[in-house]
């Protein structure tokens, strides 16, 4: 096998693994890439050694840590999540509820950092859940500040409490801009309340939303003090962003 042929085959293995939606078993790689088992095994060993692929605990192959390292360095949202994590931890320590940092990604909100609630009731991994932005406090913050664009026409009714009328929703966004705090009570899920505030960069532009969520029974009467706490903590993130920019 020539050097060029070896590189081509190794590249094909990497591409197949990276593009796959789940871990790829060795036998599938051999079949898809049309390689002898001995060749595939030898190349995969080399690729593991250089951290381009790694054997998943389920047995198949997934993209190696080198790809994660690259994504962290070059995705500003991931970097923002890591930067803000101590702030989220401080909020979680004081309130005890789930804390999230959300950023715009297309027409959706992407959760880039989360600190779990210390209560069993209310804990959920929002980083893996796709949420309609108009029914979430984080999404409302980003809509209010023009970071996300309000879709035309009626909004989807996620629950009976969701604001679906575009005119009413737009009026609500104006209030959020004025007050600096957004909230949802039973709009995304009956029994769930969320509160969120904008996070600004050193230039004053809104780049993310910081929020908490938890059972309505615990939070519905605490919206104002929670909003004040989140505003103070979001300013800490702004300060951290300024220090990074000045470094």
**Average pLDDT per consecutive 10 residues, the chain (247 residues; last block may be shorter):** 82 91 91 93 93 86 81 65 90 93 91 86 67 94 95 90 94 96 95 96 93 93 95 94 64
DSSP letter (8 states) at residue 17 = H
pLDDT at 186: 95
Q: Coil, strand, or helix at residue 117?
A: coil
Cβ atoms 141, 176 nearer than 8 A: yes
pLDDT at 245: 54
User: Alpha carbon of 122 to those of 20, 118, 161, 193: distances in Å?
Assistant: 33, 9, 19, 10
Nearest in space to 196 (alpha carbons), one of 211, 185, 175: 211
Distance CA 217, CA 225 (A): 16
pLDDT at 185: 95
**Tokens coding 203:** 């230039």
DSSP letter (8 states) at residue 132 = -
Nearest in space to 234 (alpha carbons), one of 200, 194, 184: 200
Cβ atoms 82, 75 nearer than 8 A: no
pLDDT at 247: 47
Q: Which residues on neighbouring strands pair with residue 113, listed in sequence order?
A: 101
* pTM of the full structure: 0.68
Rg of the chain, C-alpha, whole Å:
22
Cβ atoms 120, 102 nearer than 8 A: no
Q: For the stretch 139-168, what's the b/e string if a residue is b when 16 or more beta carbons lie within 10 angstroms of its beta carbon? A: bbbbbbbebbebeeeebeebeeebbeeeee
Q: What beta strand segments (E) does the chain contain?
A: 53-55, 61-63, 98-105, 108-115, 182-185, 192-200, 206-215
Q: Which domains does the chain have, with CATH numbers?
A: 3-70 (1.10.10.10), 75-246 (3.30.450.40)
Annotate 157-201 with DSSP letters as a single string. -SSTTS---HHHHHHHHHHHHHHS-EEEESSSSTTEEEEEEEEE-
């Amino acid at each position: 096998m020539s050097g060029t042929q070896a590189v081509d085959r190794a590249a094909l293995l990497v591409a197949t693994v990276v593009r796959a939606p789940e871990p790829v078993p060795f036998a599938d790689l051999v079949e898809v890439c049309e390689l002898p088992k001995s060749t595939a095994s030898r190349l995969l060993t080399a690729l593991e050694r250089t951290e381009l692929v790694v054997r998943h605990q389920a047995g198949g192959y997934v993209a190696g840590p080198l790809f994660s390292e690259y994504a962290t360095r070059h995705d500003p949202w991931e970097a923002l999540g890591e930067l803000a994590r101590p702030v989220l931890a401080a909020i979680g320590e004081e309130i005890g509820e789930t804390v999230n940092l959300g950023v715009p990604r297309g027409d959706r909100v992407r959760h880039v950092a989360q600190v779990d609630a210390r209560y069993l009731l209310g804990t959920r991994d929002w980083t893996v859940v796709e949420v309609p932005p108009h029914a979430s406090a984080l999404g409302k913050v980003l809509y209010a500040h023009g970071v996300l664009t309000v879709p035309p026409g009626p909004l989807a009714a996620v629950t009976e409490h969701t604001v679906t009328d575009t005119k009413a929703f737009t009026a609500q966004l104006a209030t959020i801009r004025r007050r600096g705090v957004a909230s949802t009570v039973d709009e995304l899920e009956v029994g769930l309340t969320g509160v969120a505030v904008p996070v600004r960069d050193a230039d004053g532009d809104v780049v993310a939303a910081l929020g908490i969520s938890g059972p309505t029974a615990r939070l519905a009467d605490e919206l104002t003090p929670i909003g004040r706490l989140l505003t103070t903590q979001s300013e800490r993130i702004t300060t951290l962003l300024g220090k990074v920019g000045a470094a």
